[in-house]
A = this chain, B = another copy of it.
Amino acid sequence: MKYILMMNCPKNGYETFAAWPKKDIQAHIAFMHSLNKSLRESGEFVSAEGLASPNEAKVVRAGQDGAPITDGVFPEAKEFLAGYWIVDVETPEQAYAIAARASAAPAPGGVPMNMPIEVRQVMSGPPEDLL
């Protein structure tokens, strides 16, 4: 079963992170690299990506002629995806255990962040009767 583990943040989340002391940012990134490496070694890693700052986010809709209409205004409360992992595991509990490891990534001073990680199953495809 494939699960996606998502890190979400508010619109100014990247500025908050960038204001950490450099050694704490380095320790955080080193933690993330070693988490990815250990997931690769256990065979659970499918993919992982980090997204650019929400300040560059756009919402795109098709206009009447199909051409893109772009907008950069979002509700104040909107959560932005900062990054995600997709893992392939046997049970949801294994996905939650990996999410808890990511959640405990170090904050300034090396304290675990215990940040919320949203965990969702990834579908293999649409139901056959809808094809």
Contact = CB atoms under 8 A, between A and B. Distances in A.
Stoichiometry (number of copies):
2
A-side interface mostly: mixed
Given A68-B96, A103-B60, A104-B66, A121 B79 contact: no
Nearest to A58: B119
Contacts of A62: 100-101, 103-104, 112, 114
Contacts of A81: 4, 6, 81, 120
Interface in A51-89: 51-52, 54, 56-63, 66-70, 75, 77-81, 86
Interface of A: 2, 4-6, 22, 25-26, 29-30, 33, 47, 49-52, 54, 56-63, 66-70, 75, 77-81, 86, 92-93, 96-97, 99-101, 103-104, 112, 114-123, 125-126, 130-131
